[in-house]
Chains A and B, each alone.
Chain A
Amino acid sequence: MGFLARSRDRLLLSRRLARWRDAPSPAALTEAVHTLLRLGEVERAWTLARQGYAKFKDDDLVRELYRIVGRAHAEHGLVAAQDEVKSRPTAAAFVRLARFAVLLRDVEGAFVALEECLRRFPASAAAHAALGELHEQRWLRDLAAADGCVVLTHLRKAWRLDGAEPTRPLRLAAFLARVGAVRAALNVANEVLHLHEEHADAIALRDSLARVVAAGVQAGTIAAEGEEDVESLLRQIEESGRVVGDPGDATRVARESERLRAFLPALRERTGCEKALVVEPKGHAQDERGALGASPLVNLAANLSRSGQFTVRRLDLGPLQSVTMVTTGGSLLLQRAQRCLVGVLLDQPDAVERGKAGLEDLVAGRLRATPLVASRPVAARVAKDPT
């Protein structure tokens, strides 16, 4: 940016900030934020964008602005954290670096930063907690029991290393409850309350878990005494491919399925496939037009998905990533995309490589989404299917 343009922005800045202050509007916000960004004042722009987002979160322009400035803020923060890690490495700097990497969707970078942090500062409770959170995100994606065990290890270490911080054991309790170990979760919540008697979140969690345990004991689904075998619960979840006791699980899957459907037209174009579909963990399938009824393709995809998951897990190969069925009459490819599988039916046997490349592009976010005709809202689908 030239000197004259920058000088002009400096002159206009106070007027634009005043305009936003006196008569807030999406247009005033956009002008002020862009001026700050041009002047390199990323953090001030971020503060302003957050204020604007809180006021006008339904405005498309403001949402887009918030996303752009958020990215600039994360990039700025990442560079600052990298410099800090190089010049004055501390556990806090590594954790900040990891958080900015996550904001920029560099999850692998975040893992590397936190693992390096724990190598240098093994007693950092914040790093254990952050690594536990990252592993929890990974666990939610493919429900691997091994990831679930790592979440527990890190959250427990974070708690042991800094018992005064109640949010980490509460996160541990929430995770235990999510996997069905409600009695173990209740014990953690009770321990937190020994130290923090007035903690509102701990009280709410304790009360809700106590109700679940009492109801479970009465119904005979929870033993009257003793904690659950969490590892065994995690293995059961891995095998079934669902978190049965988690009320948010169905919503997560439905949202993910909605998102993936939008990529099917581009996938069809990319692979030249005959049909493309999204298969949910319970075997329901959808294409971009909506839910698909029973058909040989849906049955085949659902059967392959279910029996494939079962087989690889029995062989201790971990969660299923893809299925490739090659026949003389054509091929069916299924690729895991978080919890769902995306499938393509190819009528040419030699189109397998193209199909695989298309599915990889979809998973890596390299395909464009097509706006879909409104389907049944996620909440309605979940409400109709309480399992």
Chain B
Amino acid sequence: MKEILQRLEGVPGVVGALVMTLDGVVIASVPQGVDLDRTAAFLSAVLLSVEKSAEQLGLVPLQRLTLAATRGRLLLVPVGELALAVVADGTTDLGPALNEVAGLTRRLLRQSKINVAD
């Protein structure tokens, strides 16, 4: 998992990334040594707080949640029972990063399916 995440580190504009369970436990993160536990907890809280209303509106399943701020962006992509979060800067075109995220998501999805089958 970490190996896949490390591919994101070289993507222009990407500041950090993490894979977490939907209840906020960090599975892997880059860059190394940065404490992202609280970020994962916040993201889990965000997902929980919107889940019920989104279901009532028929806005399911979630494909992508993007929070854009003045100094950067946060992308959240659910992958099976996990979620991938990417923090990127606010100025770089996110196209390449998004493609990388999509590729990574697909790989993670395959991996999670294999894990489930195991």
- 25 A-B residue pairings within 8 Å (CB atoms): A296-B53, A296-B54, A296-B57, A300-B53, A300-B59, A303-B53, A307-B45, A307-B50, A311-B43, A312-B67, A312-B69, A315-B69, A315-B72, A318-B71, A318-B90, A320-B67, A321-B68, A323-B66, A324-B68, A325-B64, A327-B61, A328-B60, A329-B57, A330-B59, A332-B57
Q: Per DSSP, are chain B's interface residues mostly helix, strand or loop, or mixed? A: mixed
CB of A119 within 8 Å of the partner chain: no
In the complex the two chains form, is B38's CB within 8 Å of A325's CB? Answer: no
Q: Which residues of B contact A331 (CB under 8 A)?
A: 59
Interface residues of B (CB under 8 A from A): 38-39, 42-43, 45-46, 49-50, 52-54, 56-74, 87, 90
Interchain CB contact (< 8 A) of B69 among A303, A320, A326: A320
Q: How far is the CA of A313 from the CA of B90 in the complex (A)?
A: 14
Contacts of A329 on B, CB cut-off 8 Å? 57-60
A317 to B74, CA, bound (A): 9
Contacting residue for A317 out of B54, B56, B59, B87, CB 8 A? B87
Expressed in whole angstroms, the minimum distance between the Cβ of A167 and any Cβ of chain B is 30
Task: Give the CA-CA distance A153 to B114 in the complex, in Å.
Answer: 57
A311-B44 Cα distance, complex, nearest whole Å: 11
Contacts A304-B50, A327-B54 given: A144-B70 contact, CB under 8 Å? yes
Closest to B73 in A: A317
- The reply to whether B49 and A307 form a contact with Cβ atoms under 8 Å apart is yes
**Contact status A311-B66, CB under 8 Å:** no
Q: Is the CB of A311 within 8 A of B74?
A: yes
Instruction: Please indicate the chain A residues that have their CB under 8 angstroms from the CB of B72 in the complex.
Output: 312, 315, 317-318
For the complex, give the distance between the alpha carbons of A144 and B71 in Å: 11
Taking a contact as CB atoms under 8 Å apart, the answer to whether A330 and B58 are in contact is yes
In the bound complex, CA of A349 to CA of B45 (Å) = 25
Q: Is A26 an interface residue (CB 8 A)?
A: no
The answer for the CA separation of A317 and B65 in the assembled complex, in Å, is: 16
B39, B57, B66, B68 pick with most chain A CB within 10 angstroms = B57
Q: Contact: A296 with B56, CB < 8 Å?
A: yes
- Whether A327 and B62, one on each chain, are in contact in the complex, defined by CB atoms closer than 8 angstroms, is yes
A47 CB, nearest partner CB in chain B, Å: 41
Residues in B whose Cβ lies below 8 Å from that of A322: 66-68
CB contact under 8 A between A327 and B63, given known A296-B53, A318-B71, A318-B72: yes
- CA A144 to CA B60, docked complex, whole Å: 33
CA distance A296 to B68 in the complex (A): 23
**Is A314 among interface residues, defined by CB-CB distance under 8 A?**
yes
Residue among A308, A315, A318 facing the most chain B CB atoms (10 A cut-off): A315
Q: With A315-B72, A317-B90 in contact, do A345 and B57 touch (Cβ < 8 Å)? A: yes
Fill in one digit per residue for A59-73: 1 if any B CB lies within 8 Å of its CB, else 0.
000000000000000
Q: How far does the alpha carbon of A314 sit from the alpha carbon of B87 in the complex, in Å?
A: 12
What 0/1 readout, one digit per residue, does chain A (232-251) give for beta carbons within 8 Å of chain B? 00000000000000000000
Report the minimum CB–CB distance from B90 to chain A (whole Å): 7
Chain A, 203-228, contact with B by CB distance < 8 Å: what is the 0/1 string? 00000000000000000000000000
Q: How far apart are A117's CB and chain B's nearest CB, in angstroms?
A: 25
* Cβ B49 vs Cβ A317 within 8 A: no
Contacts of B53 in A (CB 8 A): 296-297, 299-300, 303
Would A325 and B59 count as touching, CB distance under 8 A?
A: yes
> Separation in Å of the B99 CB from the closest CB of chain A?
16
Chain A hits for B67, CB < 8 A: 308, 311-312, 317, 320, 322-323
